[in-house]
Structure 1
Amino acid sequence: MNNIASILLLVFLAITFLQSSQDKLFHWKDNLDWLKEHFKNTPLKNQVPLALVNVLILELISGILCTVGSIELALNSGRIYGLYGAIFSSITLIMLLFGQRLAKDYDGARTIVLYFIPSVMAVYWLN
Protein backbone atom coordinates (compact mmCIF):
# COMPACT_ATOMS: atom_id res chain seq x y z
CA MET A 1 0.00 0.00 0.00
CA ASN A 2 3.00 2.34 0.14
CA ASN A 3 2.88 2.77 -3.62
CA ILE A 4 -0.83 3.37 -4.15
CA ALA A 5 -0.49 7.05 -5.18
CA SER A 6 2.20 6.17 -7.72
CA ILE A 7 0.12 3.29 -9.07
CA LEU A 8 -2.89 5.57 -9.46
CA LEU A 9 -0.81 8.14 -11.34
CA LEU A 10 0.61 5.46 -13.63
CA VAL A 11 -2.87 4.09 -14.34
CA PHE A 12 -4.07 7.63 -15.08
CA LEU A 13 -1.19 8.17 -17.53
CA ALA A 14 -1.65 4.72 -19.09
CA ILE A 15 -5.33 5.37 -19.76
CA THR A 16 -4.60 8.84 -21.11
CA PHE A 17 -1.94 7.76 -23.58
CA LEU A 18 -3.35 4.40 -24.61
CA GLN A 19 -6.74 5.95 -25.36
CA SER A 20 -5.14 8.82 -27.26
CA SER A 21 -2.93 6.53 -29.32
CA GLN A 22 -5.89 4.21 -30.00
CA ASP A 23 -7.86 7.23 -31.26
CA LYS A 24 -5.00 8.23 -33.56
CA LEU A 25 -4.66 4.68 -34.92
CA PHE A 26 -8.36 4.14 -35.62
CA HIS A 27 -9.22 7.69 -36.70
CA TRP A 28 -5.99 8.58 -38.48
CA LYS A 29 -7.51 10.60 -41.34
CA ASP A 30 -9.75 12.67 -39.05
CA ASN A 31 -6.83 13.47 -36.76
CA LEU A 32 -4.54 14.29 -39.67
CA ASP A 33 -7.12 16.58 -41.31
CA TRP A 34 -7.76 18.42 -38.05
CA LEU A 35 -4.05 18.81 -37.31
CA LYS A 36 -3.25 20.06 -40.83
CA GLU A 37 -5.80 22.80 -40.33
CA HIS A 38 -4.57 23.47 -36.77
CA PHE A 39 -0.94 23.93 -37.89
CA LYS A 40 -1.53 25.55 -41.30
CA ASN A 41 0.05 28.86 -40.20
CA THR A 42 3.05 27.39 -38.41
CA PRO A 43 6.48 26.13 -39.44
CA LEU A 44 5.09 22.59 -38.88
CA LYS A 45 2.51 22.90 -41.67
CA ASN A 46 4.42 20.54 -43.99
CA GLN A 47 5.49 18.17 -41.21
CA VAL A 48 2.10 17.25 -39.74
CA PRO A 49 2.01 13.57 -40.85
CA LEU A 50 5.53 12.94 -39.52
CA ALA A 51 4.78 14.81 -36.30
CA LEU A 52 1.60 12.77 -35.83
CA VAL A 53 3.53 9.51 -36.27
CA ASN A 54 6.11 10.70 -33.72
CA VAL A 55 3.43 11.63 -31.19
CA LEU A 56 1.62 8.33 -31.77
CA ILE A 57 4.80 6.34 -31.13
CA LEU A 58 5.62 8.32 -27.99
CA GLU A 59 2.07 7.92 -26.70
CA LEU A 60 2.18 4.17 -27.26
CA ILE A 61 5.55 3.87 -25.51
CA SER A 62 4.30 6.04 -22.63
CA GLY A 63 1.06 4.11 -22.23
CA ILE A 64 2.69 0.69 -22.39
CA LEU A 65 5.47 1.62 -19.96
CA CYS A 66 2.96 3.12 -17.52
CA THR A 67 0.79 -0.01 -17.73
CA VAL A 68 3.73 -2.35 -17.15
CA GLY A 69 5.07 0.02 -14.48
CA SER A 70 1.83 0.03 -12.51
CA ILE A 71 1.76 -3.78 -12.57
CA GLU A 72 5.43 -4.00 -11.59
CA LEU A 73 4.91 -1.55 -8.75
CA ALA A 74 1.85 -3.42 -7.46
CA LEU A 75 3.48 -6.85 -7.64
CA ASN A 76 6.99 -6.29 -6.36
CA SER A 77 7.44 -2.54 -5.68
CA GLY A 78 9.65 -2.25 -8.77
CA ARG A 79 9.86 1.29 -10.09
CA ILE A 80 11.92 1.20 -13.27
CA TYR A 81 9.16 0.75 -15.89
CA GLY A 82 6.91 3.24 -14.13
CA LEU A 83 9.71 5.79 -13.95
CA TYR A 84 10.45 5.42 -17.65
CA GLY A 85 6.73 5.60 -18.40
CA ALA A 86 6.41 8.82 -16.42
CA ILE A 87 9.50 10.28 -18.12
CA PHE A 88 8.20 9.38 -21.60
CA SER A 89 4.80 10.81 -20.63
CA SER A 90 6.42 14.09 -19.59
CA ILE A 91 8.45 14.29 -22.81
CA THR A 92 5.35 13.57 -24.89
CA LEU A 93 3.38 16.27 -23.09
CA ILE A 94 6.20 18.79 -23.56
CA MET A 95 6.13 18.06 -27.29
CA LEU A 96 2.35 18.51 -27.36
CA LEU A 97 2.66 21.73 -25.36
CA PHE A 98 5.24 23.06 -27.82
CA GLY A 99 2.90 22.33 -30.72
CA GLN A 100 -0.05 24.03 -29.05
CA ARG A 101 2.01 27.11 -28.25
CA LEU A 102 3.37 27.20 -31.80
CA ALA A 103 -0.20 27.07 -33.13
CA LYS A 104 -1.13 29.81 -30.65
CA ASP A 105 -3.74 27.52 -29.11
CA TYR A 106 -3.30 28.76 -25.57
CA ASP A 107 -6.41 27.00 -24.22
CA GLY A 108 -5.08 23.71 -25.61
CA ALA A 109 -1.69 24.41 -24.06
CA ARG A 110 -3.31 25.12 -20.71
CA THR A 111 -5.13 21.79 -20.87
CA ILE A 112 -1.85 19.95 -21.46
CA VAL A 113 -0.45 21.48 -18.26
CA LEU A 114 -3.22 19.68 -16.34
CA TYR A 115 -1.79 16.38 -17.58
CA PHE A 116 1.82 17.47 -17.13
CA ILE A 117 1.48 18.04 -13.38
CA PRO A 118 0.60 14.42 -12.49
CA SER A 119 3.20 13.22 -14.99
CA VAL A 120 5.98 15.15 -13.24
CA MET A 121 4.62 14.04 -9.85
CA ALA A 122 5.02 10.44 -11.01
CA VAL A 123 8.61 11.13 -12.13
CA TYR A 124 9.38 12.66 -8.74
CA TRP A 125 7.77 9.87 -6.69
CA LEU A 126 9.25 7.04 -8.73
CA ASN A 127 12.75 8.48 -8.98
Structure 2
Amino acid sequence: MHNLAGLLVLFFLAITFLQSGYDKFTDFQGNLNWLKGHFAGTFFDGKVALALRTLLVLELIAGLLCTVGIVEIFVNGGTTFGKYGAVLSCITLLMLLLGQRVAKDYDGARTIAIYFITAVFGVFLFQ
Protein backbone atom coordinates (compact mmCIF):
# COMPACT_ATOMS: atom_id res chain seq x y z
CA MET A 1 0.00 0.00 0.00
CA HIS A 2 1.36 3.40 -0.99
CA ASN A 3 2.16 5.80 1.91
CA LEU A 4 1.44 3.17 4.58
CA ALA A 5 4.12 4.55 6.91
CA GLY A 6 2.81 8.07 6.37
CA LEU A 7 -0.74 6.96 7.12
CA LEU A 8 0.36 5.30 10.34
CA VAL A 9 2.22 8.43 11.44
CA LEU A 10 -0.80 10.59 10.64
CA PHE A 11 -3.13 8.27 12.57
CA PHE A 12 -0.72 8.43 15.53
CA LEU A 13 -0.54 12.23 15.45
CA ALA A 14 -4.28 12.67 14.87
CA ILE A 15 -5.12 10.46 17.85
CA THR A 16 -2.49 12.16 20.02
CA PHE A 17 -3.53 15.74 19.31
CA LEU A 18 -7.29 15.29 19.00
CA GLN A 19 -7.43 13.42 22.31
CA SER A 20 -5.15 15.94 24.02
CA GLY A 21 -7.11 18.88 22.63
CA TYR A 22 -10.38 17.24 23.64
CA ASP A 23 -9.06 16.72 27.17
CA LYS A 24 -7.93 20.35 27.42
CA PHE A 25 -11.31 21.54 26.08
CA THR A 26 -13.50 19.38 28.34
CA ASP A 27 -11.41 19.91 31.50
CA PHE A 28 -9.90 23.33 30.84
CA GLN A 29 -10.15 24.47 34.46
CA GLY A 30 -8.62 21.26 35.82
CA ASN A 31 -5.73 21.49 33.39
CA LEU A 32 -5.29 25.18 34.13
CA ASN A 33 -5.19 24.63 37.89
CA TRP A 34 -2.61 21.86 37.57
CA LEU A 35 -0.46 23.84 35.13
CA LYS A 36 -0.49 26.96 37.31
CA GLY A 37 1.25 24.94 40.01
CA HIS A 38 3.52 23.28 37.48
CA PHE A 39 4.77 26.65 36.19
CA ALA A 40 4.78 28.57 39.49
CA GLY A 41 7.99 30.53 39.81
CA THR A 42 8.85 30.35 36.10
CA PHE A 43 8.52 33.01 33.44
CA PHE A 44 5.26 31.30 32.40
CA ASP A 45 3.77 32.17 35.80
CA GLY A 46 0.79 34.41 35.08
CA LYS A 47 0.69 33.40 31.41
CA VAL A 48 -0.53 29.84 31.83
CA ALA A 49 -4.12 30.46 30.69
CA LEU A 50 -2.97 32.07 27.43
CA ALA A 51 -0.41 29.31 26.84
CA LEU A 52 -3.02 26.62 27.49
CA ARG A 53 -5.50 28.23 25.09
CA THR A 54 -2.77 28.54 22.45
CA LEU A 55 -1.80 24.89 22.83
CA LEU A 56 -5.45 23.82 22.74
CA VAL A 57 -5.97 25.57 19.39
CA LEU A 58 -2.69 24.29 17.92
CA GLU A 59 -3.36 20.72 19.02
CA LEU A 60 -6.84 20.70 17.54
CA ILE A 61 -5.63 22.22 14.25
CA ALA A 62 -2.72 19.75 14.07
CA GLY A 63 -5.06 16.82 14.75
CA LEU A 64 -7.56 18.02 12.16
CA LEU A 65 -4.85 18.57 9.54
CA CYS A 66 -3.56 15.05 10.15
CA THR A 67 -7.10 13.67 9.85
CA VAL A 68 -7.68 15.56 6.59
CA GLY A 69 -4.26 14.30 5.46
CA ILE A 70 -5.41 10.71 6.01
CA VAL A 71 -8.52 11.33 3.92
CA GLU A 72 -6.46 13.09 1.23
CA ILE A 73 -4.14 10.09 0.91
CA PHE A 74 -7.10 7.74 0.50
CA VAL A 75 -8.97 10.01 -1.94
CA ASN A 76 -6.25 11.18 -4.31
CA GLY A 77 -2.88 10.06 -2.94
CA GLY A 78 -1.95 13.64 -2.02
CA THR A 79 0.20 14.51 0.97
CA THR A 80 -0.20 18.27 1.34
CA PHE A 81 -2.45 18.23 4.41
CA GLY A 82 -0.46 15.41 5.98
CA LYS A 83 2.73 17.43 5.59
CA TYR A 84 1.14 20.52 7.15
CA GLY A 85 -0.27 18.40 9.97
CA ALA A 86 3.12 16.84 10.68
CA VAL A 87 4.86 20.23 10.61
CA LEU A 88 2.31 21.81 12.95
CA SER A 89 2.61 18.77 15.20
CA CYS A 90 6.37 19.39 15.40
CA ILE A 91 5.85 23.07 16.25
CA THR A 92 3.29 22.19 18.93
CA LEU A 93 5.57 19.56 20.42
CA LEU A 94 8.45 22.03 20.52
CA MET A 95 6.23 24.42 22.48
CA LEU A 96 5.31 21.63 24.88
CA LEU A 97 8.97 20.66 25.21
CA LEU A 98 9.92 24.23 26.07
CA GLY A 99 7.29 24.26 28.81
CA GLN A 100 8.48 20.97 30.28
CA ARG A 101 12.10 22.10 30.26
CA VAL A 102 11.24 25.45 31.87
CA ALA A 103 9.25 23.62 34.56
CA LYS A 104 12.23 21.26 35.02
CA ASP A 105 10.00 18.27 34.29
CA TYR A 106 12.69 16.27 32.54
CA ASP A 107 10.67 13.04 32.43
CA GLY A 108 7.84 14.90 30.69
CA ALA A 109 10.34 16.45 28.28
CA ARG A 110 11.75 13.02 27.50
CA THR A 111 8.27 11.75 26.66
CA ILE A 112 7.65 14.69 24.33
CA ALA A 113 10.93 13.91 22.55
CA ILE A 114 9.55 10.48 21.63
CA TYR A 115 6.46 12.07 20.08
CA PHE A 116 8.66 14.61 18.32
CA ILE A 117 10.70 11.88 16.62
CA THR A 118 7.50 10.42 15.20
CA ALA A 119 6.30 13.83 13.99
CA VAL A 120 9.66 14.64 12.34
CA PHE A 121 9.53 11.25 10.63
CA GLY A 122 6.14 12.26 9.25
CA VAL A 123 7.59 15.50 7.88
CA PHE A 124 10.40 13.47 6.30
CA LEU A 125 7.95 11.04 4.69
CA PHE A 126 5.88 13.83 3.12
CA GLN A 127 8.72 15.92 1.69
TM-score by length of 1: 0.98
Q: Following TM superposition, by how much is the alpha carbon of 1:95 offset from its aligned partner in structure 2, in angstroms?
A: 0.2
Root-mean-square deviation (CA), in Å? 0.5
List, as ranges, runs of 4+ consecutive aligned residues in structure 1 with deviation greater than 2 Å: none
Structure 2 equivalent of residue 30 of structure 1: 30
Paired residues for 1:60-75 under 5 Å: 60-75=60-75
Match of 1:55 in 2: 55
Check whether the contact 1:66–1:81 (CA below 8 A) recurs between aligned residues: yes
CA distance in 1, matches of 2:2, 2:118: 18
Determine whether 1:43 maps to 2:68. no
Structure 2: runs of 5+ lacking an equivalent: none
| 1:83 maps onto 2:83 in alignment | yes
Identity among equivalent pairs (%): 56
Normalising by structure 2, what TM-score?
A: 0.98
Q: SS of 1:42's equivalent?
A: coil
Contact 1:7 1:74 in 2 (8 A): no
- In the alignment, residue 105 of structure 1 is paired with which amino acid? D
Cα distance between partner residues in 1 of 2:74 and 2:32 = 37
Decide whether the 8 Å contact of 1:10 with 1:67 is kept in 2.
Answer: yes
User: What whole-Å deviation, never above 9, does each CA across 1:9-55 have from its counterpart, x for those lacking one?
Assistant: 00100000000000000001110000000000200011000000000
The aligned length equals 127
AA aligned opposite 2:72: E
- Contact 1:9–1:119 under 8 Å retained in 2: yes
| Conservation of the 8 A alpha-carbon contact between 1:100 and 1:106 | yes
- For residues 9 and 75 of structure 2, the distance between their equivalents in structure 1, rounded to whole angstroms, comes to 16
- Where does residue 21 of structure 2 map in the other structure? 21
Question: Which residue pairs with 1:107 in the alignment?
Answer: 107
State the 1:84 CA deviation.
Answer: 0.2
